Amino acid sequence: MKNKFIVCNWKMNGNKKLVTEFIDEISESTRSQGQGIPPKIIACFPFPYLPSLSSCANSADFENTDIISLGAQDCSSEERGAFTGDVSANMLRDIGCDYVILGHCERRKYHKESDSTILAKALSAIKNNITPIICIGESSPCKFDIEIQQQITSSIPSDGKIIIAYEPVWAVGAPYEAVSSGHISRAISYIKSCIHPAEDRCLGVLYGGAANTINALQIMASGADGLMLGRAGMNAKEVLDIAQICSSNQKN
């Protein structure tokens, strides 16, 4: 059975205190948890706070590195050099990052990232042994057929381990009622049929966009292999509740 994932995308939010409290609360609770198949929680803090988790993960009192992993929110496609402000995948690997979110709709919008840029970044991540979490999603529900196919063809590498996050642009930041399980279920099964789910290299197709404790069970029942959380992902209690929902879904 495949691992389920909960990706906490903090975007450009938080501070040192909130990051430390989040890590403490998650590690404390997962340490005292009993049996079950807990999903992997991937904490994607802003760049300056990534070392907080890597230093905890290296310390003796942080025993659950299998449960919580470190992810970044972007990386460069370049290895090194005169690229002011950029961070390379090999730097992320150096501080213990195992995952990187690529092609989030906010990067596509505000940084004008194209599918080919995202593909180049994904190849660099894979080369540096970091699993890219590649975001795809249509700009409006009626554009699914045209835009998703194009994004799959042009931004997803044909080799190497990947996670895909289906994040319809219209659902990101929306009220949770915006999400229809029928739409998610059709989208996830279409994406899985394009990616050849039998291939072990695709670790999962996640869903992101207004997911929270209220709709998590319904979304997981729509065939998602996990959730990518924005607002809900900054609240440790909510993340733990959603983790519980994912593991109960996994048992069924």
Q: Which residues are known to be catalytic? A: 104, 167
CA distance 220 to 206: 9
- Min dist CB 52 to ligand 13P, Å, is 20
Residue 230 interacts with ligand 13P (CB under 6 A): yes or no: yes
Does residue 73 bind ligand 13P (CB under 6 A)? no
> Rounded CA gap, 181 and 191, in Å?
15
Binding residue for ligand 13P, selected from 26, 191, 220, 228, defined by CB under 6 A:
228
Please report, for residues 15, 212, 236, the alpha-carbon distance to residue 209 in angstroms, rounded to integers and kept in the order given.
23, 9, 18
Among positions 92, 205, 211, 236, the unique one binding ligand 13P when judged by CB under 6 A? 211
Tell me which of 70, 208, 219, 246 binds ligand 13P, using CB under 6 A.
208
Binders in 3-22 for ligand 13P, by CB under 6 A: 9
CB 46 within 8 A of CB 73: yes
Q: Shortest approach of ligand 13P to residue 177 CB, angstroms?
A: 12
Contact 72, 50 (CB under 8 A): yes
Residues 6+ apart with CB under 8 A from 57: 65, 68, 70, 96
Q: x/- binding map, residues 151-190, to ligand 13P, per CB under 6 A?
A: ----------------x----xx-----------------
For 40, the enclosing helix (H) or strand (E) is: strand 40-44
**Where do contacts with ligand 13P occur on this chain (CB under 6 A)?**
9, 104, 167, 172-173, 208-211, 228-232
